[in-house]
A and B are shown apart, each in its own frame.
Chain A
Amino acid sequence: MMRTRFPAALLAAALLTGGGVAVAEEESFTQWWMSPWRHKEVQPVDNKIYQEECGGCHLAYQPGLLPARSWEKLLTETALADHFGDDASLDAETLKEIRDYALANAADKSYHKRSRKIALATESGDTPLRITDVRYIKRKHHQLPEKMVKGNKDVKSLSHCNKCHTKAEEGNYDNDTVSIPNYPDWKD
């Protein structure tokens, strides 16, 4: 019995490890399932053009923070001409690259846990155009008093994720990485 179980355990470990190495840019369910790497948060931005163009003005929000239908509405020529009050127009080629990347990595296409929760929270109802309008994001921040966000001169808006989420650029929004400026003792 022992002779068959030990190799079986070794084989399982090898499959688990090997699966992670085999992960391609676009993950399938099998690749995610076999991968030993963590998928707890949001897929970090790994597209240079997306990072440069979006990150030039604000935090390059990871595509996994909104569902595909939100990115479809946000990333059009007309929508970018009035991007929350600013003109963020892009040339056609750049826009296509950014749009394709966002759609391929949107919350409902991702196997990352936080993106899956966002996708579930936005399955029904309106299409959120702001990340702060996502039900899941609202619920995670419901305990925050106004003075810590809007009234906090070092935060000012919930849309400034990286002011409190110290690892936001890496796609990590875990509670353990939160530090609210001017409120160092705050804990969720």
Chain B
Amino acid sequence: MKGIIFIYAAALCMAAFTATAAAQEQTLELPSLSSEYVKDKESFRLAANDTGIQKGNPQAAPTAPQTEFESPLFTGSKMHQYLGIATVAAAAGTFLTHFHPCEGPNCGAQPPRKTSGLHANMGRATAILAVATVASGLISHWDDFHAEDGYTDPDNMHVILGVTGAALMAYAINKSARSSVPTSHAAVAELGALTMVTAIKLTW
């Protein structure tokens, strides 16, 4: 149980880290018609920007010695990546801790239903991690989604499949948690996990 609490705490901390890292990196820019216009204008300027090299430009940037670059350990993008991997690992753990000694009509009386066992808690941890992953992805990769690129764009597919996978896993867990008797929820949860793995693979 302590391990599960640790996972909950870690997921919350990582989600908080993501938001902090993203806030440090950029301000959240929601698209609007006017901002799209400005972006197009800037793209044209960018193209013009490359046609020649300015010489002796009084607006030239001040010179500062370039220090050796070290990639930061914690960025919004990296947090999203860590959370995604943690979600898949937790889903695999949930899958492996599902144990029924006997299933079917000839098994006699079933053992009482556990709602706080390892499997149940791992499932809840998976759902929390999945939600944290989706939230961190929306925060740190907001500008990678462009509807005009169509659903075959890897990032667009990633977000569609990632959100669907998280929703399916959350639905399966919710279905089981609300039932007073053992209920079949494995297929939906496994489908959700596989959908999420596919989403990760597309942008891995």
Contacts and interface: CB of A to CB of B under 8 A. Distances in A.
The judgment on whether A and B are partners is: yes
A57 B39 CA distance: 33
A24 B96 CA distance: 33
A151 interface: yes
A188 B25 contact: yes
Given A176-B75, A188-B26, 16 more contacts: A6-B96, A9-B92, A117-B154, A130-B50, A147-B59, A148-B61, A150-B49, A150-B54, A151-B61, A154-B66, A159-B50, A175-B75, A177-B69, A182-B62, A187-B24, A188-B25
Interface stretch (A64-72, A95-103, A131-139): A131-139
Interface stretch (A32-40, A46-54, A75-83): A32-40
Contacts of B50: 130, 132, 149-150, 157-159
A179 B92 CA distance: 38
A177 B71 contact: yes
A149 B60 CA distance: 9
B114 interface: no
B153 A117 contact: yes
Contacts of A157: 50, 53
Interface of A is mostly: loop
Q: Is the interface of B mostly helix, strand, loop or mixed?
A: loop
Q: How large is the interface on A (under 10, 10 to 19, 20 to 34, 35 or more residues)?
A: 35 or more
B29 to A, nearest CB: 9
A143 interface: yes
A56 interface: no
Contacts of B146: 139
A138 B43 CA distance: 6
Contacts of A92: none
A166 B69 contact: yes
A153 B63 contact: yes
Interface string B90-112: 00100110111001000000000
